[in-house]
Amino acid sequence: MKDSGIVRKIDDLGRIVVPKELRKTLKIGIGTPIEICMVDGKIVLTKYSRANDILEVGKQLCSSLSKMLDCGVILCDDDKIQIVSNASKKQYHNIEISSQLHKYFESKTPVILRKVDGSYMIPIYNGDKNEYTSQIVYPLINNGEIISVLVLFTTQDRLLEYGEMAICKYINFYINEVMDVE
């Protein structure tokens, strides 16, 4: 763990102030949920993401989905790509998503984009130069809140269709069932 060299005192209510520089770097704003846990005798604060709740089941779903549909599949939280299947993990995994993709965390509307229909392909990460032929961007919603975005994409002649969009809808229902049980 990197030592920041910053020392803060706990106030009489047990609170500490996270320095502005760290909040800015980690994109922590007012109301951002923070997970508190103890690791090796240290208190560790982590920016909490509801996407973490679906990571294990998400890995299995994305792997199956990419094999079944013969396309790349990415699951991301509002900052980074969390899961990659049927694509270069080195190229995509754990990197920051593009600002264009981030806009889908503000919208609850899934979209299907196809180059042959004249659609503009969304860069998945900043500096993305891939030649996508089609994409489905499907926000996964739990209790009215977007917890993750599922992205299906192709880079060859195969095009994604509305049937694949229906499968994404089913995945959203399934993830909600799993999250409600845990």
> What is the pairing mode between strands 72-76 and 134-142?
unpaired
pLDDT at 109 over 70: yes
Average pLDDT estimate for 29-39: 83
Confidence of residue 130 (pLDDT cuts 50, 70, 90): confident
CB 167 within 8 A of CB 114: no
Measured distance CA(124)–CA(115) in Å, rounded: 15
pLDDT for position 57:
77
Per the model's pLDDT, the better-predicted residue between 78 and 121 turns out to be 121
Strands 145-154 and 34-39: unpaired
Q: Is 149 helix (H, G, I), strand (E, B) or coil?
A: strand
Mean pLDDT, the chain, rounded, equals: 85
Query: What's the pLDDT at 5?
Result: 74
pTM equals: 0.73
Q: Which residue has the higher pLDDT, 127 or 51?
A: 127
Q: Which domains does the chain have, with CATH numbers?
A: 1-48 (2.10.260.10), 51-181 (3.30.450.40)
